[in-house]
Structure 1
């Protein structure tokens, strides 16, 4: 029972800490004159991916590579099928390809790098540097191409309040990540579940809670473009930043199932989302329901692998 309480506490720490970190970092960025487009696309996108980064680093350094990689791939799958699906069920999403073309193509390119990164059976320093290098290029392009406005950023106006909120959020996600990985590993061993599956499901959903909260609130408020933008930005960072930085810190062994099962799945649903935005430009409740059903089916069908 204590292990489950620790797991819930870790998830709560990630959820609240991610929210505080995003608000504080956004307030600081605006306070120091960072372009509004960068605040929305980069600061917030990276902020909501901070739990994934800390969980994967903790897992890799703790000798649990299945959780480290499963968290990255599982979060991308959950972001598209679970988070966007939930947002579409709440209210139909109108998706403009021209507005998100650059980021959508970068997201597709990021997942297509995965077979290269996993091919040798280990994400090594070299692959990590390639991913981090691609991230740097993406950030430079985003910075040069920044334009438009980000409105209604929910952050304190006071400088010290933003600093305090940022530090508080960082501390919460650090502790939340540590206890989530530890408790999830104990549960996995007790039930004979592989670390890969724990990373792909429980941990991935837990670290996607900031994206879920942000996207659902955006859908409720009718800010449909934010719903898609948050997911696209987060998925890019999950692969390029999180997997890349983790591999730079320590080589990450790759379970065979990731190459055989989960990588093809995340590539397929990413390209399907790209096609949906390009050819249809709309995601109604029926599509959202199908996405949620697809996520349940994925977890159910792959859980025993």
Structure 2
């Protein structure tokens, strides 16, 4: 039954996320909102709604490991898994000038996330600051893209064009609302099932968040990127991943900390290690290895995307191998001494 809950949650998150994005994009087009704005906001950030709802659900249940692991794991999966698959489908021709601004922001906020985890600073003030940074980033990006019309603006507009959604306003609204309902119920099933599996098999909730939950909430990004790659527009997939990773850190953790401040340190209670929802002292739920994997994945993406102006199929295979290696280490399937 538990596995059916998790599977049902994954399916609802995927279908609901797709419906939410397509319905929202359709309504935006009927309201004559530009493809540039749609690509930068609804598409770039809309695919991260499953992560947002799942993290909020997890923090409400006291499962901090799932909430934070979902964000860290999703960002790793977006690069190593989603981008790797997209590059295997079709080599990604990159434009460093178009990617420079958003990539720089992603690198900065990734370092910021590691700092917040290291010093355990997920207070309501930190949440407010993260949200303020997100608003500033979106505002500056819209202003810069609309005034300069450079390569970055073209990339953001192409992100919107990959979404086929031309329904009526009423149908679009109904689709978006139905998608949101699906995401909410999917998040509930996924979190409840993940917590149950963690307790039954003695696996930490953080591992479940970094793996099953993270992959499940990254399915919309995977679908969008795969479709773009099949159409020969894999560079759009790269832009979508960068935008999603930025929103995951600034938006999801920002909203989560605003709604419910939390601690990423575990608190031993007898023989059981629980999560600290408000405060606590203990070992970090997100290990140094997890943060290293996040930083290395970002580094690989930047290296592959900017140096050769092309992410080749073999580089996509390297990314996928890196994700398989990370999952093996996460579940203790690969002995660390042998790697070292």
Q: Which has the higher contact order (CA 8 A, sep 6+)?
A: 1
Partner of 1:129: 128
Alpha-carbon offset, residue 253 of structure 1: 1.5
Q: TM-score, normalised by structure 1?
A: 0.96
**Match of 1:238?**
248
Q: What is the Cα deviation at residue 161 of structure 1? A: 1.0
Q: Which runs of 5+ in 1 are unaligned?
A: none
Residue matched to 1:169: 179
Question: CA–CA distance in 2 between the matches of 1:15 and 1:136?
Answer: 26
- Aligned residue in 1 for 2:223: 213
Partner of 2:191: 181
- 314, 320, 329: which one aligns with 1:292: 320
Q: Give yes or no for contact 1:10–1:176 (8 Å, CA) kept in 2.
A: yes
Separation in 2, partners of 1:36, 1:218: 16
Cα separation, 2, equivalents of 1:37 and 1:130: 26
State how far apart, in whole Å, the 2-side matches of 1:267 and 1:105 are. Answer: 13
1:53-73, Cα deviation, whole Å (9 max, x unpaired): 000000011100000000000
Higher Cα Rg: structure 1 or 2? Answer: 2
Deviation (angstroms), 1:153: 3.3
Deviation at 1:159, TM superposition (A): 0.7
Q: Secondary structure at the match of 1:272?
A: helix
Scaled by the length of structure 2, the TM-score of the pair is: 0.86
- Which among 265, 273, 278 is matched to residue 301 of structure 2? 273
Mean Cα deviation higher: 96-105 or 71-80: 96-105
Name the residue aligned to 1:68.
67
Could you tell me how far 1:257 is from its partner in structure 2? 4.6
- Are 2:212 and 1:202 aligned? yes
Which segment drifts farther, 93-102 or 63-72?
A: 93-102
CA contact (8 A) 1:46 1:234 kept: yes
2:17 maps to 18
> Is the contact between residue 87 and residue 234 of structure 2 (CA under 8 Å) also seen in structure 1?
no
SS at match of 1:252: coil
3-state SS, counterpart of residue 115 of structure 1: helix
Deviations 1:170-200 (A, max 9, x none): 0100100111000011011111100110000
Query: What CA distance in whole angstroms lies between the structure 2 residues aligned with 1:204 and 1:130?
Result: 24
Structure 2 CA distance for partners of 1:191 and 1:117, relative to 1, 3 Å: same
Aligned residue pairs: how many? 304
After the TM superposition, which residues 20-39 of structure 1 pair with which residues of structure 2 at under 5 Å, given as runs?
20-39=19-38
